[in-house]
Amino acid sequence: MKTTILSIAMALITLVTFAQEKNKKMTFDVDGKCAMCKERIEKAALNVKGVKYASWDIPTHQLAVIMDERKTDPMKIKTAIVAVGHDTKELKATEEAYESVHPCCRYREDNSDDGADH
């Protein structure tokens, strides 16, 4: 009887442990300037299958994500972000993608924080 209860308890602990490992929290740098950038960056990240949460902080340029590692990886998220015109440390947006962002969002020439202005 004790071994049965112990076996069930171990099985439950293992199940809970595996269930928790699927969600991973990460942060990485994404260039941008304002609330319009924030909306664009977060939307791009959330459109990647497996991303459950995305929040970009204007002053720090940090994107915090929670993702299911079984469905996506950080490079897929970064690829989606550069596709909408925002650079990361590893990837740069194409000129065409960068030029598609609103003129006030062009951070390469002026990387000041315009978050209070928009």
Q: What is the mean pLDDT of the chain?
A: 87
The pLDDT score that the predictor gives to residue 14 is: 63
SS3 48: coil
Confirm if 65 and 77 have CB atoms less than 8 A apart.
yes
More confident residue, 66 or 20: 66
Please say if the pLDDT value at position 20 is more than 90: no
Residue 21 or residue 13, greater confidence: 13
Which pLDDT band, with edges at 50, 70 and 90, does 22 fall under? confident
Q: Of 7-16, 58-67, 106-115, which has the strongest mean pLDDT?
A: 58-67
Which pLDDT score, from 0 to 100, does residue 109 have?
82
The answer to whether the CB of 67 falls within 8 A of the CB of 50 is: yes
Section 39-54 average pLDDT: 97
Q: According to the model, what pLDDT value does residue 110 have?
A: 72
pLDDT given for residue 24 in this prediction: 94
**How far is it, in rounded angstroms, from Cα 117 to Cα 110?**
14
